[in-house]
């Protein structure tokens, strides 16, 4: 199995995210002409049992063997790199990408599982410099994850990454013909993505965690806000130079806490584009899981919900 292997997913997908505090689960169904539907979310603590034991319990509780299942790699378990697309036949693409990555990885390329994601070019431009995202993870890690799920009798179809999970939600917010920037935070830090026409065009990590943004020191918070704003300005400047054919409609900020909109107000006052706080119900039907009405719950399940909404149906 490669990373983020593509599978048709119209009947629903269970996504399972192994986090430091426990295992987060989401099951969702996509529909051609209406909002995606969240069917179920669940959290399993791993404080009093091993991850393997909890995973096996989860599989029985949720009848995971009846669905396609996905899991998310955590930050630090993979590398996402932008590379120039090699001019080779499709069947030689991954071999050519592997060669290009040999001096870019922090481990030996022979020990890597590699997959690629295309970044579409401007169809109206005569000069078509073409880039791709390459994702690399250690074979040992991928094999261990597969073995863990196999032992739990969970049919693992997809090994995904947070950037693509966030993309799956961001694309639901795109106005016709315009791109959207999306900024989220969790215990691993901040993640900025830009999507356009359903594709991921940019991804940046920001070294500020959710916990840092929700602490009480006002001066420290303001310093974090300034750092985030500077990183966003630099990222947007870079993006506009590289992808002049994409116009960004707005920046969407994921839920941070139940009562804190300070970052949204700060960004709105210091960026040139509209800044909105993410409203899950505007693009996803959560009527079956009312607990997701709370911003804190939306934040906790954000990435695993995105993974459950994957939609690719073809392999590069």
Evaluate if residue 147 carries a pLDDT over 90.
yes
DSSP 3-state of 77: coil
How high does pLDDT run on average in the chain?
Answer: 90
Band (pLDDT 50/70/90 cuts) for residue 315 is: very low
Predicted local confidence at residue 80, as pLDDT: 96
Q: What is the pLDDT of residues 1-31, one digit of tens each?
A: 456 554 443 357 899 999 988 999 999 998 8
Tell me the mean pLDDT in the region 248-271: 88
Predicted local confidence at residue 124, as pLDDT: 78
- CA atoms of 118 and 133, how far apart (whole Å): 6
Q: How far apart are the first and last CA of the chain?
A: 14
8 A C-beta contact, residue 189 and residue 209: yes
Predicted local confidence at residue 91, as pLDDT: 85
Predicted local confidence at residue 259, as pLDDT: 60
Using a pLDDT cut of 70, give the percent of the chain over it.
92
Evaluate if residue 257 carries a pLDDT over 90.
no
Fold of the 79-136 domain = Dna Ligase; domain 1 (3.30.1490)
- CA atoms of 85 and 191, how far apart (whole Å): 24
Chain centre distance of CA 220: 28
Predicted local confidence at residue 215, as pLDDT: 86
CA dihedral 177→183→184→189, nearest 10 degrees, is 140
Taking the domains of the chain in order of start, what are their residue ranges? 79-136, 173-278
Predicted local confidence at residue 216, as pLDDT: 86
Q: What is the pLDDT of residues 148-168, one digit of tens each?
A: 999 999 999 999 999 999 999
Of 17-26, 175-184, 240-249, 255-264, least confident by mean pLDDT is 255-264
Question: Which of 65, 28, 1, 64 lies closest to 165 in space, CA to CA?
Answer: 28
Evaluate if residue 113 carries a pLDDT over 60.
yes
Determine the CATH number of domain 173-278.
Answer: 3.30.420.40
Tell me the mean pLDDT in the region 214-237: 95
Predicted local confidence at residue 185, as pLDDT: 94
Tell me the mean pLDDT in the region 111-131: 84
Q: What is the pTM of this model?
A: 0.92
Q: What is the pLDDT of residues 44-90, one digit of tens each?
A: 999 888 999 999 999 999 999 999 999 999 989 999 999 998 888 88
Using a pLDDT cut of 90, give the percent of the chain over it.
76
Predicted local confidence at residue 296, as pLDDT: 87
8 A C-beta contact, residue 202 and residue 166: no
8 A C-beta contact, residue 89 and residue 316: no
């Amino acid at each position: 199995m490669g990373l983020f292997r593509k599978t048709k997913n119209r009947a629903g997908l269970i996504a399972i995210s192994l986090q430091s505090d426990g295992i987060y689960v989401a099951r969702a169904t996509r529909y051609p002409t209406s909002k995606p539907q969240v069917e179920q979310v669940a959290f399993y603590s791993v404080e009093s049992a091993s991850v393997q034991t909890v995973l096996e319990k989860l599989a029985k509780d949720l009848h995971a063997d009846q669905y396609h299942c996905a899991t998310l790699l955590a930050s630090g378990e993979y590398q996402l790199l932008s590379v120039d697309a090699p001019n080779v036949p499709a069947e030689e693409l991954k071999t050519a990408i592997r060669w290009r990555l040999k001096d870019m990885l922090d481990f030996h390329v022979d020990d890597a599982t590699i997959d690629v994601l295309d970044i579409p070019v401007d169809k109206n431009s005569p000069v078509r410099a073409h880039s791709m995202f390459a994702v690399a993870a250690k074979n040992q890690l991928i094999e261990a994850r597969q073995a863990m799920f196999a032992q739990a009798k969970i049919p693992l179809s997809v090994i995904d990454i947070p950037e693509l999970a966030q993309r799956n939600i961001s694309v639901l917010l795109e106005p016709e013909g315009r791109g959207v920037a999306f900024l989220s935070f969790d215990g691993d830090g901040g993640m900025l993505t830009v999507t356009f026409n359903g594709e991921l065009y940019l991804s940046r990590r920001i070294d500020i965690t959710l916990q840092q943004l929700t602490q009480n020191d006002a001066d420290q918070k303001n310093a974090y806000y300034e750092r985030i704003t500077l990183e966003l300005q630099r990222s947007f400047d870079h993006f506009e130079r590289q992808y002049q054919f994409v116009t960004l409609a707005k920046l969407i900020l994921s839920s941070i806490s139940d009562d804190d909109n300070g970052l949204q107000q700060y960004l709105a006052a210091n960026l040139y584009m509209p800044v909105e706080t993410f409203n899950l119900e505007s693009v996803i039907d959560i009527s079956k899981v009312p607990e997701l009405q709370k911003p804190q719950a939306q934040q906790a399940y954000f990435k695993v919900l995105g993974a459950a909404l994957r939609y690719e149906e073809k392999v590069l």
